[in-house]
Amino acid sequence: MPQKTLRFKIHQDGRVEETVEGFIGNSCNEATKNLENALGKVTVMNKTSDAFLSNQSENLTQLNNESNVTF
Amino acid sequence: MSHFSTIKTQLKEAEPLIKALNHFGYSINQEDKFVKGYKGQFTAVDISMNLPGDTQVGFKWDNNSNAYELVTDLDLWKFEIPVERFISKVTQMYAYQTIVSKTQEDGYQIVEQKNKNDGSIELVLTKWEN
């Protein structure tokens, strides 16, 4: 019986930091999807995998349109 | 796996928004759905209320931002706090009400709640899986 934990810090300006613990694989993202949709826009998400100890960070607010391609 | 997210709160749903407004003791005006807004023009809103001091405020669904936006006439703003502070307060409480109701639906329980010195609210919720 693993325990699932959600931690929130709701800042004065309405920004919310959310930490989700105790999920296996991608069920972690599914678990809070509805909540995140009702709350607003996810601006930063860091996934931490205990198995690989890798940090993957996606900044969803920054579009990659700054390409400096020279020919 | 766990994840850490930062969310920019937007007023997406009416129910937690009304709960947030009620939390501060502001009453919703069910009769009048018009608020004097930009340049004194009357604007139809989805949720309207009167703040103490006769300041008229409404929230109107905005298709561009996909959220409720505040409608008020800033020239008539006579409330005790500036409008920016009012929006922040309502937004923070909206986030709190949304988190509490959505997580309860999923079977989570609040195990810790703190009002911090920096004005933030910290919440910890848990659920045991069978």
Residue-wise pLDDT for B6-57, tens only, equals 999 999 999 999 999 999 998 888 887 888 777 778 889 999 997 877 788 9
Residues of B with Cβ-Cβ distance to A29 under 8 angstroms = 3
A17:B91 CB<8 A: no
B8:A43 CB<8 A: yes
Residues of B with Cβ-Cβ distance to A46 under 8 angstroms = 3-5
Per-residue pLDDT band at A31 (split at 50, 70, 90)? confident
B88:A35 CB<8 A: no
Residue B117 has what DSSP assignment?
T
- More confidently predicted of B126 and B129: B126
Residues of A with Cβ-Cβ distance to B119 under 8 angstroms = 11-12
Residues of A with Cβ-Cβ distance to B86 under 8 angstroms = none
Residue B35 Cα, gap to closest chain A Cα (Å): 24
Closest among B76, B86, B72 to B43, alpha carbons compared: B72
Q: Which of A12, A21, A37 sits opposite B92 (nearest CB)?
A: A12
A18:B12 CB<8 A: no
Choice among A43-47, A66-70, B87-91 with the minimum mean pLDDT: A66-70
**pTM score:** 0.83
